[in-house]
Amino acid sequence: MPKENLLTFEFLALSFITFAAVCNVSVFYNFHLYLQGLGLSGKESGFIIGLYSLSAMVLYVTASQFIRLGNAIRCMLAGIVLVVGCGMAYLVAEQFWPLVIVRTVNGMGMFLVMASCMVMLVAVIPPQKSGLAFSLYSVALLLPYSIMPAVSEVLTPLMDKPTRIYMLTACLLLPAVLLVLSIRIRVRDRFLNQEKKFSGRVGKNVERKNLLRRPVIAILLVNGIYFIIFSSLFYLFEGFAVVKGMKNPGFFFTTQMGGYDCYSPAWRPYF
């Protein structure tokens, strides 16, 4: 059996799209302080920050089943448009309700990008290399958390307000449009064939049984606890650092997440 290559154009392109998309999440590490600087209370700031993940989470539960290989390209392009548009909208949205709308739509856009990316990723990776593929993919997911806070620390003194950094980061997704269109040209026939092959829809009873399995519940619980702890640290650490007189708090995440990326199992086959 011929040895299939994992590092194809499609895999690398999807990894870059994921990296650029997650940069639009990690760049908001100073968002809590920014919101309080606008005069919003701690409760209002927390609610606005949480809306981003909440809107995406609701869509993952309710709408994931409707994203297929046949429409993943269109969904991803729509998501990119929403994320870039929201990145620009932060420049003018400075009141509670406009920010609520922008954060909600931003989360919807991120869902469309990430869910579509996952659908296509599963279709392009060799099955016998799925473990290595997802290890490398996890690096693309986590690397922005070690880069963007530090980049924000460097750029913030050069900008009149943090929202300009949010806008510039959103523009990182614009080159992804060309990558998405290239993927469409290269693998369109393969996607259509796989769509026809796996056109049967999984019944709701099967979905419910899988969701209620103990290993699945345990994994979801562990990931949920980790996400709560990490999110609290990520969004509140800068405020803590300011109170304690620490300088350049963004580099804390460079050390934390950079260490994880360096010791990721993804690199073992290459060293």
- For 182-234, the pLDDT digits (tens) are 988 877 666 666 655 555 555 556 666 776 778 878 887 888 787 778 777 77
pLDDT at 193: 61
User: How high is the pLDDT of residue 1?
Assistant: 37
Please check whether residue 125 is in contact with residue 11, taking contact to mean a CB–CB distance below 8 angstroms: yes
The pLDDT, as a whole number, for residue 271 is: 47
Is 98 within the bounds of a domain?
Answer: yes
- Domain assignment present for residue 20? The answer is yes
Owner of token pair 């806008």? 167
Residue 198 lies in a domain: yes
Alpha helices in 125-173 (DSSP H): 130-155, 163-170
Residue 1 lies in a domain: no
**Beta-carbon-side half-sphere exposure of residue 100 (alpha carbons within 13 Å):** 7
Residue 119 is assigned to a structural domain of this protein: yes
The pLDDT tens digits for 28-76 are 988 988 999 999 998 999 899 989 988 988 898 888 888 888 889 999 9
Residue 210 lies in a domain: yes
Q: Is 215 helix (H, G, I), strand (E, B) or coil?
A: helix
Q: 2 lies in a domain?
A: no
Q: The tokens 């409760």 sit on which residue? A: 43
Provide the whole-model pTM.
Answer: 0.84
CATH number where 210 lies: 1.20.1250.20
pLDDT digits (tens, 9 = 90+) for 74-132: 999 999 999 999 999 999 999 999 999 999 999 999 999 999 999 888 888 887 887 78
Per-residue b or e along 144-160, where b marks 16 or more CB atoms closer than 10 Å to that residue's CB? bbbbbbbbbbebeeeee
Q: What is the amino acid identity at position 179?
A: L
Task: Give the max Cα distance, the chain.
Answer: 64
The answer as to whether 4 is a domain residue is no
Count of structural domains within the chain: 1
Domain limits at 195? 9-270
> What is the percent of the chain with per-residue pLDDT over 90, rounded to a whole number?
33
